């Protein structure tokens, strides 16, 4: 299907932009915040920092997650040459969003835990070996769960209430 058949690209479709901004992003934000709070004990920060710094770290990481999830979705839509939401190949877009977010997160985790040593995992963090490096499983698993769930929740049809 070429662009003429599919209509305008996703970024020119008001309904699609609205869905991303008003439905996907809020779900992505809420789910990411919950994930960040739940995984706190998997980092040494949980036992070493004060409540104010922990709150800052959760807010900082949640904002980062929102950016990662948004850029991953936008890149997926561009690569898939997506049109309006009704025309999306949803499974492929979700898969590409996951792959993009996973790739970035693996790189970021390596940079921050190995190269820069910005943070450390606690002994509770399950780990996965990628080549010579161990990365935390929780930050990687987050991208297997959160974007597809946020997309599913954003794309579900809301029940309509009919008067009389």
Tens of pLDDT, residue by residue over 67-86, are 999 999 999 999 999 999 98
| pLDDT score of 60 more than 50 | yes
Q: Give the span between the Cα atoms of 140 and 125, in whole angstroms.
A: 12
For residue 14, pLDDT beyond 80:
yes
CB 97 within 8 A of CB 72: yes
Establish how many alpha carbons lie within 13 A of residue 138's alpha carbon, considering only the half-sphere containing its beta carbon: 17
Which pLDDT band, with edges at 50, 70 and 90, does 8 fall under?
confident
Q: Is the pLDDT of residue 54 over 50?
A: yes
Instruction: Indicate the DSSP class of residue 76.
Output: H
Instruction: Quote the pLDDT of residue 157.
Output: 78
| Cβ-based neighbour number of residue 2 at 10 Å | 6
d(CA 49, CA 57): 10
Query: Does residue 38 contact residue 65 with C-beta atoms inside 8 Å?
Result: no
- Does pLDDT of 159 surpass 70? no
User: Quick one: CA dihedral 43, 47, 48, 49, positive or negative?
Assistant: positive
The whole-number average pLDDT for the span 6-18 is 88
Partners of residue 129 on adjacent β-strands = 134
Contact of 16 with 84, CB cutoff 8 Å: yes
């Amino acid at each position: 299907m070429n662009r003429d058949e599919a209509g305008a690209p996703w970024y020119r479709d008001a309904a699609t932009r609205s869905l991303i901004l008003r439905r996907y992003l809020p779900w992505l934000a809420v789910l990411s915040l919950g994930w960040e709070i739940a995984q706190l004990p998997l980092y040494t920060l949980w036992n070493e920092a004060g409540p104010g710094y922990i709150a800052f770290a959760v807010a900082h990481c949640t904002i980062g997650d929102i950016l990662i999830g948004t850029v991953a979705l936008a890149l997926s839509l561009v690569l898939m040459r997506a049109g309006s939401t009704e025309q999306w190949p949803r499974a492929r877009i979700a898969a590409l969003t996951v792959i993009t977010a996973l790739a970035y997160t693996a790189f970021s985790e390596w940079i921050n835990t190995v190269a820069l040593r910005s943070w450390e995992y606690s002994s509770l963090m399950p780990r996965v070996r990628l080549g010579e490096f161990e990365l935390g499983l929780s930050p990687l698993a987050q991208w297997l769960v959160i974007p597809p769930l946020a997309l599913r929740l954003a794309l579900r049809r809301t029940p309509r209430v009919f008067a009389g």
